[in-house]
Amino acid sequence: MNQDTATPGSVRPGGRTARVRDSVLRAAGDLLAERGFATLDLAEVAARAEVGKTTVYRRWRTPAGLVADLLAEMAETSLPHSDTGSLRGDLLDNARLVGKTLTDTRQGRLFRAVIAAATSDDTAAAALRGFYDTRLAEWSPCVEAAVARGEVPAGTDPRAVLSAVSAPLYYRLLVSGDPVDEAAIAAAARAAAIAAEQGVFVSGATPSA
């Protein structure tokens, strides 16, 4: 998916190069979580990672290139999708995964920093979309299985269902400030599942109130 496109830093060879990438991404993630995107500086990342400045500039080019690779790495290490046997169970697991990411001190801060950057930087925005495209591709089979089991109508759009699970949790983190707790996680999963069962997310459906 998008982490395999030619975004700077997205090549992932093994050995020493892989260790350099690990160090650089760890340092970049720490700095992002500590101080946000606006002050992210490639020379400082190189110093903290104990890697040559030239290597970092050549391989990641810009702060946005670093963010893109950081999100690609997070997408790669995402848990595999659930297979609980029901859409409601799978969506609850998905909501818990999203909730865990957003409430984790380091990852939550990192996401806030990347989302803030994405509001004004096209490369950061593209990196964020790439992360979601990867995660959506990983979890889409849960919705396809629910269609096959007859739990939701044929033509139900996996992207719409999974976005409906994530959206209320991001809204709490970024906008309303309400807590991302277990009740919110369960309600997000349940609301999305019920709406999907009622055919709200059938693609091309004529929307009606």
Total of chain residues touching a second copy, rule CB under 8 A: 51
**209 belongs to the binding site for a second copy (CB under 8 A):** yes
Out of 141, 166, 179, 180, name the contact with a second copy by CB under 8 A. Answer: 166
* 180 lies in the site for a second copy, by CB under 8 A: no
Quick one: which segment of 10-18, 55-63, 75-83, 186-194 binds a second copy (CB under 8 A)?
186-194
**Cα-only R_g, the chain:** 19
- Which one among 6, 13, 154, 175 touches a second copy, defined by CB under 8 A? 175
105-118 vs 63-76: helix crossing angle, rounded to 10: 130
Long-range contacts formed by 25-31: CB under 8 A, 24+ apart? 25/66, 25/69, 25/70, 25/73, 28/66, 28/67, 28/70, 29/70, 29/106, 29/110, 30/106
Among 8, 36, 141, 153, binds a second copy (CB under 8 A): 36
116 class by beta-carbon count within 10 Å (0-12 exposed, 13-18 middle, 19+ buried): middle
| Residues in a beta bridge with 156 | 202
Distance, in Å, from the CA atom of 60 to the CA atom of 189, rounded to the nearest integer, reads 37
Phi first, then psi: give them for residue 40, nearest 5 degrees. -65, 125
Residue 171 in the binding site for a second copy (CB under 8 A) = yes
Alpha carbons 196 and 194: distance in angstroms, whole number:
5
Q: Which is nearer to a second copy, 21 or 123 (CB)?
A: 123
Alpha helices in 172-208 (DSSP H): 182-197
Among 8, 89, 141, 153, contact with a second copy (rule: CB under 8 A): 89
Which residue, 24 or 110, has its beta carbon nearer to a second copy? 110
Bridge partner residues of 202 (DSSP): 156
Least separation in angstroms between CB 205 and a second copy: 8
Tell me if 105 contacts a second copy by CB under 8 A. Answer: no
Scan residues 41-80 and list those touching a second copy (CB under 8 A).
none
Binding residues for a second copy (CB under 8 A): 36, 38, 86, 88-89, 91-92, 112-113, 115-120, 125, 128-129, 132, 159-160, 163-164, 166-168, 170-172, 174-178, 182-183, 186-187, 189-195, 198, 200-201, 207-209
